[in-house]
Amino acid sequence: MPVLNFTLQDIIGTLLGFSLFPLVLVFPGYIFGWVFDLFEFRTRLLPARFAVSLLLSVAICPIFYYLVASLLSLNVALIVTGLIAAVFVALLVYEKPTLPQDGQWRIFFWVSLGWVIFAIFCLVDLQWGHQELYFSVAALDHTTRVSIIDAMTRTGVPPINPSYYPGHYVKLTFLYFFWYILGSIIDIAGGRLVDARTALFASIIWCGIALMALIAFYLRMRDGRAASKVWQRALIGIASLSITGLDIIPAIALIGFGNVYARGDLEHWNEQITAWVGSLFWVPHHVASLIAGCVGMLLVHSVRRQTRSKQFIALIFSGVAFASALGLSVWVTFVFVLFWGIWMLCLYFQKEQRALLLPMLFAGVVALLLAGPFLLGLLSGSGGGNGAFPITFDVRSFRLADAFLVNSSFLWRSFIRLIFLPLNYFLELGFFFLVAFIWLKSNKDNFRNHPYYFAEALLLGVSFIIGTFARSILIGNNDLGWRAWLPGQFILLIWGVDVLEGFVRSPSSRFALSQTTKYNLVLLAVLGVSTTILDVSLLRFGHYFSFGSEAGRQIFSARQAYTMISQTLPEDVIVQYNPAGVLNRPSGLYGMRQSAISDRTAYGVPLDKYFSKAKQISKIFKMENAQNWNLLDSLCNEYFINVIVIVNADPLWKSLGLLEKQRAALYADDYNAVFFCGGRTATFPFP
């Protein structure tokens, strides 16, 4: 097949997907905001309306499209999307909103444009010459996300499991997948120019813009200052997204001792609190859940001292936001649920705020009712585990100390971790560790009387407790401990904006900073930005420096092979690679087809069934000295496989010359070969 420039394809597809995403991430929020006047939408200028529309869409659309697509179909969801676009255009024609005369909103536009360019460079495959191709290290997780988006596009919501076929389709319910529904709609709307990968990339870019909008709008709601002042503070907050912890210090030290991170992810030196850029690139759905949860919290703040009817309308949408948040990230929502309950308890003792309790309780009921079908599906999955409760008590790991505690008892290990906890969090939070100390010290006498400050302290406290003393056990990574800190990170970023104003305010200010404190803040900020730069560099170029040009040629070959499959073979074909060994990224990134067994989305598959099936199917690819296709076809028929992808590392590769004489390859080069396998009487016959 002809050599294609895959980088250019990715850029075009991502830009088109980005241009289509307002259909599901701007227009619906604009309509709901205008109709129900949420956040006083009708009185706001167009740039502010855009920010509110984006935030409301993130809070409303995941659960909205889940219900429409699962109860009806994705086709109906597309029709609804078209109707929403028509209503949006009609509203613009009716109101004819104009841009404000001052040009400060343009700064946000240029910042957003810079983020778009930066994100595209970091995410797309980079093609060097005509034979080498490199994806970002974040593709390790994108393999799963792309597979789910593509499965939805092919099979609907909830999707079938694209990595497990025991003779019939199996619904993939043991996963929070709401974010991928939006990507699937854009995948369909974009036709052949947008695929599941580029739709995912576009969603990541929009999630980053939504996070910036959240910072700007939250500061506006919280501080109630003049618009010009809010823009300045918003830019400080957005710039602070580039600051993370001090991971660069232990990482360089460990590299000096010979510990090089082959995964290309700086965060993995410890139990991570992920940098903002890393969270957006690796796990945009968790960030989207944070945004939805914060919108739900802001809706409570927006209706204080308003009529009961306005309170209930706003809190209904708050419940909608939490229903969306649950389907975006169970772990982030877990933090918000605990925070919500504690917040209600505190409001009960603050007698002047008791009027909010009933609407807040009602919001919880709304969230539970809307998310009910999703929860039932989630609970019906086995998760592939042993049936144990998915969360356990455990003090946050500190790997510099844990290396010496391998054979220690649980109590002794927990005690040592508690001793090292301040150092652990100082290295993970860095600049924001000092920010928290300064902010709490400056507000210790008045934060209880400020509704936003009090809620922020509660949310940070809940993040700290869960992130320190709870651990998820569904997979090897402590997903709960990592993602529970996202709400806390957001609060610390907002507090950082307050503290940084102390650089320019008068010495009598509440945040007047000494020269020593300013020096320490600058030093920690510089180290935090340096950590982000190094982390992004590793994410973008880690594969090249770790594996070299040979890996680049293998990836290029794999993408050629899977592109051929996607463009020429039916959607219902079952394609199988060797399931033994490590995760096969190309099969998920470019495959866009069902597999009999794969590790990329094996959610809900019992482990014994998974390993047994993988072992049996791997016999196809481990076969040596194969003289003909008889046994291969028999195994393919037994496991409902229509096409096999053989790589040069498979033992079967040595028999390729003889096999090609008996059956023409659909695709073959020095690294990959694709063949039909099984008879024409297979479950999915070819035309």
State residue 107's pLDDT score: 86
Integer Cα distance of 21 and 49 in angstroms: 17
Integer Cα distance of 377 and 481 in angstroms: 24
Average pLDDT over residues 297-324: 88
Cβ distance 474 to 390 under 8 Å? Answer: yes
Integer Cα distance of 456 and 138 in angstroms: 31
**pLDDT tens-digit profile of 243-269?**
999 999 988 877 655 444 445 678 888
Residue 496 pLDDT exceeds 60: yes
Q: What is the SS3 assignment for 16?
A: helix
Considering only CA atoms, which of 375, 582, 391 is closest in space to residue 474? Answer: 391
Cβ distance 613 to 597 under 8 Å? Answer: yes
Considering only CA atoms, which of 89, 92, 81, 90 is closest in space to residue 57? Answer: 81
Residue 349 pLDDT exceeds 60: yes
The residues, any chain, with a CB within 8 Å of residue 514's CB and separated by 6 or more, are none
* Helical (H) or strand (E) element with 594: none
Integer Cα distance of 245 and 532 in angstroms: 9
Is 20 exposed, middle or buried, given 0-12, 13-18 or 19+ CB atoms closer than 10 A?
buried
Residue 686 pLDDT exceeds 50: no
Considering only CA atoms, which of 536, 486, 496, 560 is closest in space to residue 211? Answer: 486
State residue 687's pLDDT score: 36
Angle in degrees, 0-180, between the axes of helices 485-500 and 196-223, rounded to the nearest 10 = 50
Average pLDDT over residues 347-360: 79
User: For the chain, how are helix, strand and coil distributed in percent, rounded to 5?
Assistant: 65, 5, 30
Integer Cα distance of 470 and 656 in angstroms: 51
- Please give the C-alpha separations between residue 427 and each of 267, 270, 529, 532, in angstroms, as whole numbers: 11, 10, 14, 14
State residue 355's pLDDT score: 76
List 647's β-bridge partners, or say none: 672
Integer Cα distance of 232 and 581 in angstroms: 51
**pLDDT tens-digit profile of 360-405?**
898 999 999 999 989 888 877 655 454 567 889 999 999 888 888 8
Integer Cα distance of 283 and 483 in angstroms: 9
Average pLDDT over residues 474-481: 85
Is 379 exposed, middle or buried, given 0-12, 13-18 or 19+ CB atoms closer than 10 A?
exposed
**pLDDT tens-digit profile of 509-519?**
567 788 899 99
**pLDDT tens-digit profile of 92-115?**
999 887 777 777 778 889 999 999
Is 250 exposed, middle or buried, given 0-12, 13-18 or 19+ CB atoms closer than 10 A?
middle
Q: Measure the N-to-C terminal CA separation of the chain; round to a whole number of Å.
A: 21
Token duo for residue 636: 């393919």
Concatenating the DSSP letter of every residue in 461-495 gives HHHHHHHHHEEE-SSSS-HHHHHTHHHHHHHHHHH
Highest mean predicted confidence (pLDDT) among 351-355, 469-473, 556-560: 556-560
- pLDDT above 90 covers a percentage of the chain that reads 65
Confidence of residue 162 (pLDDT cuts 50, 70, 90): very high
**pLDDT tens-digit profile of 408-455?**
899 999 999 999 999 999 999 999 999 999 999 888 877 777 888 999
Query: What is the Cα Rg of the chain in Å?
Result: 26
Integer Cα distance of 472 and 237 in angstroms: 31
Write the single-letter amino acid at 196: A
Residue 530 pLDDT exceeds 60: yes
Phi, psi of 109 (to 5 degrees): -60, -45
**pLDDT tens-digit profile of 608-625?**
888 999 999 999 999 988
State residue 223's pLDDT score: 81
State residue 357's pLDDT score: 85
State residue 439's pLDDT score: 93
- Please give the C-alpha separations between residue 476 and each of 146, 331, 450, 632, in angstroms, as whole numbers: 21, 15, 41, 34
Cβ distance 670 to 658 under 8 Å? Answer: no
Residue 208 pLDDT exceeds 90: yes
The residues, any chain, with a CB within 8 Å of residue 82's CB and separated by 6 or more, are none
Residue 235 pLDDT exceeds 70: yes
Integer Cα distance of 474 and 569 in angstroms: 36
**pLDDT tens-digit profile of 655-674?**
999 999 999 999 999 999 99
State residue 3's pLDDT score: 47
- pLDDT above 70 covers a percentage of the chain that reads 92
* Helical (H) or strand (E) element with 668: strand 667-668
Concatenating the DSSP letter of every residue in 266-317 gives GGGGSS----HHHHHHH-HHHHHHHHHHHHHHHHHHHTTTS-HHHHHHHHHH
Residue 335 pLDDT exceeds 90: yes
Three-class SS of 340-394: HHHHHHHHHHCHHHHHHHHHHHHHHHHHHHHCHHHHHHHHHCCCCCCCCCCEEEC
Cβ distance 576 to 643 under 8 Å? Answer: yes
**pLDDT tens-digit profile of 106-141?**
888 999 999 999 999 999 999 988 889 999 989 888
State residue 257's pLDDT score: 52
Q: What is the SS3 assignment for 569?
A: coil
Residue 354 pLDDT exceeds 80: no
**pLDDT tens-digit profile of 42-88?**
988 888 899 999 999 999 999 999 999 999 999 999 999 999 999 99
Phi, psi of 339 (to 5 degrees): -60, -45
Residue 544 pLDDT exceeds 80: no
pTM score of the predicted model: 0.94
Integer Cα distance of 292 and 290 in angstroms: 6
